[in-house]
Structures are given as C-alpha cells and as structure tokens.
Structure 1
C-alpha cells in the first residue's frame, strides 16, 4: 500500500472527529457498518489488504475488534454503555476477501453484568470466528 493511500485512509477515518457509537475512528478506519436488528447488532466490514496479517489473511485483531464492537454496541443500544470485562475468541477459518459479518446476541442479561456472544461469517455464510464476553454496565 502506498503512502498516499494510507494517508487517505487515516484522513477518512479521522472524519469530523466524532467519537460516538456507530461512528468512531476504528469503525471508520475499517469501514464498518453498525446496524441493529431485533435483539441483535450486526457489524460488517469489507476485507481489504491493509487489514491482513503477514500470512495474507484478515488479522485476528481486526476480527476481534469487530466482534467486540458488535457486542458493545448491542449493550449500549439496549441498556447503556458498558466495558468489556473479558472476551474469548475462537478462530475457525482464514478470510482473504469479501464481506465479514459479526452478529451479536445476549446470552444472559443481569442487573449490571451481561454475557454476550458474537458469531462472524464470511460472505458465503461460513462461520469464521466466535466470541463470548462478559460486560459490566457503566
């Protein structure tokens, strides 16, 4: 990737400087869409080469970020802001191109502690990763 392309990505991600749910630097940098469905949040992103690890596939940290964002946004959407207390990610298959979609749902809702899971699929519907996490409402 050329320096000018990197600069373009960063400038676009900086945008107007907003830092809010649905639109903040990382979500803009990775080109994430963050819509809600009934009791779910769906985060999607189109895989680009700048997101690759040295092996030539989507970096696990980028995918973990998308999974985490999907869970945090669902919590915020239904109950208010929260913080990730812990998260476990399992990776099943590499992704080299196309759309990745992370669909989140609650496993258990407490008074201040919530358990969520998010499943990531590639464009063909193959499960590529799964995350489970514990959140504390702020």
Structure 2
C-alpha cells in the first residue's frame, strides 16, 4: 500500500470537506468528481491501493458506497432534497485493480415519494465492473414529477 498517498488523501479530505453533498469527508477521501449531465449523475474517481481488499482489488464496500452516493446525489439533484436508500442490490462483475473508474446513475422510474435508480460502474477502458439497482424514499421537499408519472 502506498502509505504516502493514503496520508495525502486523508489530509486532503480533512482540509477540503464540507458538510454538504459532493464535498462531505468520504467524497473527498475517495477523490470523487461529481457531475450531472443529461439527467444522470456521473462520478469519476481514482482506483487507489489503500482502498483494496486483501485480494488486491477495490474493496466491494467501497464500490457499494460510491454507487450508493451516485444514486443519492442524482436523487437530491432531481428532487431538490435528500432521500434515503430503502434497499440496494449490487452485482459485482469484474475486479478493479488500477487506473480510474466511472459510475453513472440514472432513474429507472420516478414517483412522488419513491424512486427507482440504477448505477453502473465501469473501469478506465469502459468495461462494466458492477451494476446496482435501488429503491429510495424521496424527501417531501420537492416533487419533480408534478404528480405525473415519469419513465
């Protein structure tokens, strides 16, 4: 493990974190770059060895966390308020060992109080590494559907 890189990442997270979406401590520690093109949430991040499992690949818990963050951030971006993960199913398809990764979340269906989302994680070459689907309880602060069903 590159201990210098791990310490730098931790120190950067301590210096830059803010208690808000996109800049909270864990997002800074993982080096997440978050954007919202075309009704999606895209998260790009480096695959760092201090986040590896004993088998030498990105830990499944880190993958699950980033995928959950991608869907939660998309929900907040679209609804204007936070939500809560009610359930999440995750399929790990291939290990991530080097380079960078990109996670893309999108809505499968939006409702007033419940939303269904999907997130796909790709390696630097565009190969699919994991797929997650989830059900979210939406904040009552906003209803982007205006009472209409949205595919």
Say whether the fold is shared (TM-score over 0.5).
Answer: yes
Shorter chain as normaliser: what TM range?
over 0.9
Larger radius of gyration: 2
User: How does the TM-score come out when normalised to structure 2?
Assistant: 0.86
Q: CA deviation at 1:15?
A: 1.9
Specify whether residues 46 and 56 from structure 1 end up closer, same or farther in structure 2 by C-alpha distance, changes over 3 A only: same
Q: CA deviation at 1:16?
A: 4.4
Distance (whole Å) between structure 1 residues aligned to residue 105 and residue 70 of structure 2: 6
Aligned residues: 138
Which residue does 1:43 correspond to in 2?
43
Does the CA contact (< 8 Å) of 2:118 and 2:132 recur in 1?
yes
Q: Over residues 11-60 of structure 1, what are the superposed CA-to-partner deviations in whole Å (9 max), with x where a residue is unaligned?
A: 21112441111111111001010111011000111101101000000101
Q: CA deviation at 1:99?
A: 1.2
Give unmatched runs, 5+ long, in structure 1: none
Give unmatched runs, 5+ long, in structure 2: 140-151
Specify whether residues 62 and 81 from structure 1 end up closer, same or farther in structure 2 by C-alpha distance, changes over 3 A only: same
Which residue does 1:94 correspond to in 2?
95
Local SS of the residue matching 1:96: coil
Local SS of the residue matching 1:136: strand
Local SS of the residue matching 2:77: helix
Aligned CA-pair RMSD: 1.4
Which residue does 2:117 correspond to in 1?
116
